[in-house]
């Protein structure tokens, strides 16, 4: 019952945040915190033995938040309804939305289950939010001198983080605006304790190459804008010109980097070095996972049944041909692999990037229909969101030594409650706020724009983008091979560099700075870093997640606090 209540609450809060700013705080951590609070109130007699139940609640809450994020695809349909250049007037609502998101989410959890052992046993995939959530659960569910000290440290860090975020997002002008690195592209030094805390737990190599990417945007971004302006004579904003061009080579670099890494891992499995297994175990910071959650046959059977039901729902509800729905699910399989791998390395879930990638694949290989493209994108998006958030929760379960099958059941509950929350909350939000105005819906805008853009075929590619994609693909393969052999900080990392090109600097710079500070801290005082880095990161992430993800959206929605413009 606690899992249902907490997951419904998370699912109801996420749509406002997603439509307002395009990004959401990590659901795995918020779910762990709220689950800990609930169990401390309802199960005091078993205090110290509740961590497995908390992990179950966390799984449901995280899954609900991941499903609720896909309200952005509903907003994309609403934006197309307002666009006079296309004849799309479909606004999904009600039961069909509930079934669509639920079935897509369930498929996503099962796709991730098939690759569970690979994700959990690859030492390059950290899944930072899962680690932080595990530490938070242990601290809340233990009472030793060390955990009491860590609880105090978390409270102090969370308080500092929460106050800073409230001042940043709640009261305009209270914090000074830091100087922009390049104003027209909105590259500014941000106040983000969550990003800094995330960076503390990431490798220094990642931080270095994120910063290199930001510098490249600073130097090359204006040239990209000027080039696009001179060739296309577009009158859109500088950021729209830059992103409309750079998204093609950057997405290619990201996807090809992960695709090459997967091929290299498979190659090592078929042609292993004599010491590769021992080295992998030595490098792995957690107990290896040696048991599958479900058998491959059971997982594939369930996926086949759910895909058939999804195809039936989309055909009856919107006339989408069944074979296109099935092809969309199949095309999402490798994208789930790429998305979870990127999340594990960077702690940034590229749900929208992977959804855009599916839109591109779907357009060039299956159908140019804008409506069908968006439905395929929605299915791929909820699959990726579930798989990525689920990986964080499975990392928590691995650390806590919880039964991963129970964690999977918690995810399934979250799929249902998250879909229900979106079905009920989204019409309320659109009745109170205008999509594209009060709710800017940046992610939805990207989905809708991409669907219309791709309707023109290869003509949709900006001048020079195809050649840039070819260069990016070759670079991704070469860098992945080099990085697999030498993982030193100065060896370029394609996925981190690509994220810096695609995401706003307010997201990437704090993560990079956190990684650099963490590396210096570890070098100066290794034992101190090992003991306290996770604790400090936990507090910084918790503070921003609770204030930006729950408190401020609630205050804005109720009208108690006015949303800064």
pLDDT in tens, 439-480: 767 677 777 767 766 666 566 677 888 888 899 989 988 988
Tokens of 36: 């800990």
Q: What is the pLDDT of residues 46-55, one digit of tens each?
A: 766 778 888 8
Residue 275 pLDDT > 50: no
Distance of alpha carbon 97 from alpha carbon 103, whole angstroms: 10
Q: Out of 15-19, 128-132, 309-313, 489-493, pick the least confident.
A: 15-19
Distance between CA atoms of residues 230 and 224, nearest Å: 10
Q: Which of 124-128, 263-267, 313-317, 327-331 holds the top average pLDDT?
A: 313-317
Mean pLDDT of the chain: 78
Q: What letters, b where the CB count within 10 A reaches 16 and e where it falls short, cover 239-265?
A: eebbbbbbbbbbbbbbbbbbbbbbebe
pLDDT of residue 280: 39
Is residue 319 within 8 Å of residue 311, measured between CB atoms? no
* Distance between CA atoms of residues 412 and 427, nearest Å: 24
What was the pLDDT predicted at 437? 65
Q: What is the pLDDT of residue 348?
A: 66
Residue 156 scores a pLDDT above 80: yes
Q: If we measure between CA atoms, which residue out of 485, 517, 507, 520 comes closest to residue 496?
A: 507
Residue 269: exposure state from Cβ atoms within 10 A (0-12, 13-18, ≥19):
exposed
Residue 282's pLDDT band, with cuts at 50, 70 and 90, is very low
- 34 vs 199, which has greater pLDDT? 199
Confidence of residue 415 (pLDDT cuts 50, 70, 90): very high
CA angle 366, 367, 373 (to 5 degrees): 110
Q: Which two tokens stand for residue 329?
A: 């699910």
160 or 274, which is more confident: 160
Measured torsion, CA atoms of residues 255, 257, 261, 263, in degrees rounded to the nearest 10: 60
Tell me whether residue 93 is exposed, middle or buried, using C-beta atoms within 10 angstroms of its C-beta: 0 to 12, 13 to 18, 19 or more. Answer: middle
Find tokens 């969101």 and name the residue: 385
Taking each continuous run of H as one helix and of E as one strand, the counts in the chain are 23, 2
- 366-83-99 Cα angle (round to 5): 55
Range among 128-132, 230-234, 485-489 with highest mean pLDDT value: 128-132
Q: ∠382-387-390 over CA atoms, to 5°?
A: 120
In this model, does residue 334 exceed pLDDT 80? yes
Measured distance CA(132)–CA(77) in Å, rounded: 36
Q: Give the pLDDT mean for 120-134.
A: 81
- pLDDT exceeds 50 at position 274: no
- 500 pLDDT band, cuts 50/70/90, is confident
How much is the pTM?
A: 0.69
409 confidence band (pLDDT: 50, 70, 90): very high
- Model confidence at 13: pLDDT above 50: yes
Percent with pLDDT over 90 in the chain: 9
Predicted pLDDT at 471 = 92
3-state secondary structure of 435: strand
Confidence of residue 267 (pLDDT cuts 50, 70, 90): low
pLDDT score recorded for residue 501: 84
């Amino acid at each position: 019952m606690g899992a249902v209540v907490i997951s419904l609450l998370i699912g109801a809060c996420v749509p406002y945040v997603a439509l307002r700013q395009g990004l959401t705080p990590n659901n795995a951590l918020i779910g762990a915190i709220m689950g800990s609070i609930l169990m401390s109130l309802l199960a005091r007699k078993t205090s110290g033995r509740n961590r497995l139940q908390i992990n179950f609640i966390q799984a449901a809450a995280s899954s609900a938040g991941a499903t609720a994020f896909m309200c952005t695809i509903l907003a994309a349909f609403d934006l197309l309804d307002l666009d006079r250049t296309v004849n799309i007037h479909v606004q999904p609502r009600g039961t069909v939305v509930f079934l669509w998101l639920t079935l897509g989410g369930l498929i996503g959890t099962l796709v991730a289950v098939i690759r569970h052992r690979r994700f959990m046993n690859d030492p390059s995939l950290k899944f930072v939010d899962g680690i932080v959530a595990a530490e938070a659960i242990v601290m809340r569910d233990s009472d030793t001198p060390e955990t009491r000290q860590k609880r105090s440290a978390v409270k102090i860090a969370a308080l500092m983080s929460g106050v800073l975020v409230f001042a940043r997002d709640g009261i305009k002008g209270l914090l000074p605006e830091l100087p922009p690195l390049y104003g027209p592209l909105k590259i500014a030094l941000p106040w983000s304790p969550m990003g800094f805390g995330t960076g503390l737990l990431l490798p220094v190599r990642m931080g270095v190459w994120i910063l290199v990417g930001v510098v490249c945007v600073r130097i090359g971004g204006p040239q990209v804008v000027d080039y696009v302006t001179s060739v296309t004579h577009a009158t859109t904003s500088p950021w729209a010109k830059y992103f409309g061009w750079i998204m093609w080579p950057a997405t290619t670099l990201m996807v090809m980097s992960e695709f090459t890494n997967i091929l290299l891992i498979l190659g090592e499995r078929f042609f292993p070095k004599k010491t590769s297994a021992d080295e992998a175990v030595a490098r792995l910071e957690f107990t290896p996972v040696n048991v599958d959650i479900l058998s491959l046959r059971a997982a594939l059977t369930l996926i086949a049944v759910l895909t058939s039901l999804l195809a039936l729902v989309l055909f009856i509800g919107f006339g989408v041909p069944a074979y296109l729905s099935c092809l969309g699910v199949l095309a999402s399989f490798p994208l789930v692999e790429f998305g979870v791998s990127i999340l594990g390395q960077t702690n940034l879930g590229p749900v929208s990037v992977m959804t855009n990638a599916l839109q591109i694949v779907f357009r060039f290989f299956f159908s140019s229909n804008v409506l069908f493209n968006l439905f395929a994108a929605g299915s791929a998006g909820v699959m990726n969101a579930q798989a990525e958030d689920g990986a964080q929760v499975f990392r928590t379960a691995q650390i806590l030594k919880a039964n991963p099958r129970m964690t999977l059941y918690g995810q399934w509950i979250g799929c249902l409650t998250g879909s229900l929350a979106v079905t009920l909350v989204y019409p309320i939000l659109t009745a109170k706020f205008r999509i594209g105005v009060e709710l800017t819906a940046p992610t939805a805008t990207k989905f809708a724009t991409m669907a219309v853009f791709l309707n023109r075929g290869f003509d949709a590619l900006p001048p020079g983008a195809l050649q840039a994609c070819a260069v990016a693909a070759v670079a991704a393969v070469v860098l992945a091979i080099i990085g697999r052999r030498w993982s030193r900080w100065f060896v370029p990392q394609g996925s981190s560099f690509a994220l810096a090109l695609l995401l706003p600097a307010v997201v990437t710079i704090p993560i990079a700075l956190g990684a650099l500070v963490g590396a210096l801290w570890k070098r100066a005082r290794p034992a101190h870093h090992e003991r306290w880095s996770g604790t400090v990161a936990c507090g910084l992430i918790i503070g921003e997640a609770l204030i930006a993800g729950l408190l401020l959206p609630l205050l804005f929605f109720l009208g108690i606090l006015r949303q800064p413009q």
